[in-house]
Amino acid sequence: MRYAIVIESGPNNYSAYVPDLPGCVATGQSVDEVRDNLRQAIVMHLEGLRADGEPIQQPSTATEYLEIEAA
């Protein structure tokens, strides 16, 4: 499966989440670290859903960038 992720920069680290998997989040000191941590979090999240007999939502979030001219 291929899930969209959002990576945000904070004052001291990075955080990331998966819009299609509510509650699936990770942090890290770099973009690479947060991406690796989130990959592990997704695997654990999906394993937890399976273990609990919960449905696994198929990826459905689309991402795009919009160019906006500064006023």
Report how far apart, in Å, the C-alpha atoms of 47 and of each of 11, 20, 24, 25 are: 32, 15, 12, 15
How far is 29 from 70, CA to CA, in rounded Å?
A: 30
Q: Residue 21 falls within a domain, yes or no? A: yes
- For residue 40, what pLDDT is reported? 98
- For residue 1, what pLDDT is reported? 87
Q: Residue 16 falls within a domain, yes or no? A: yes
Q: Residue 67 falls within a domain, yes or no? A: no
How far is 45 from 25, CA to CA, in rounded Å?
A: 10
Q: Residue 43 falls within a domain, yes or no? A: yes
- What is the count of structural domains for the chain? 1
Q: Which residue has the tokens 């654990």?
A: 44
Q: Residue 39 falls within a domain, yes or no? A: yes
Q: Tens-digit pLDDT profile for the chain (71 aa)? A: 899 999 999 999 999 999 999 999 999 999 999 999 999 999 999 999 999 999 998 999 999 999 999 87
Phi-psi region of 64 (alpha: psi -120 to 50; beta: other; left: phi over 0): beta
- For residue 55, what pLDDT is reported? 93
Instruction: Show the domain range for 32.
Output: 6-51
Q: Residue 58 falls within a domain, yes or no? A: no
- For residue 71, what pLDDT is reported? 73
